Amino acid sequence: MFTYNMEYRENILFIRLIGSLNKYTIKCLSDELENIVYNLGIYNIVFNFEQLEEIDKQATKKIVEWYNIIRNRKGVSLACGLNNVVKRKNLLRYMQEINNELCAIKMINWNN
């Protein structure tokens, strides 16, 4: 089972991933992200993997695609809670890891 919750604060969209993210469940998340990012003009995203139990190759690729979309929009995309994620190395090739969401707020607002 997979679920997620999103919160927008301090000019950052926080996406907390919970459960199992795979090729079947990533579609729902990606569709909602597309709607939110383009319609609301989101430029900064933090993916929180703390409660994610597993992630497959297709879902990892889609997360990296979102990293690239945000980067092309001149925004920042970060990851936190990657300690228990199997595909950690694959994600860290692209995304910068931070300790927690509070650190993300400090880092992004400091850079702006």
Query: Residue 49 is encoded by which pair of tokens?
Result: 């993997």
Q: Could you list the pLDDT tens digit for every one of the 112 residues in the chain?
A: 899 999 999 889 999 999 999 999 999 999 999 999 999 999 999 999 999 988 888 998 999 999 999 999 999 999 998 876 655 666 777 788 888 888 888 888 776 5
Report if pTM > 0.85: yes
**Start-end of H helices in the chain:** 26-40, 57-72, 88-92, 101-111
CA distance 45 to 60: 16
Domain boundaries, the chain: 2-106
The CATH H-level superfamily of 2-106 is: STAS domain (3.30.750.24)
Give dist(CA 53, CA 89) in Å, integer.
16
**What are residue 45's DSSP bridge partners?**
13, 77
Is residue 63 within 8 A of residue 96, CB to CB? The reply is no
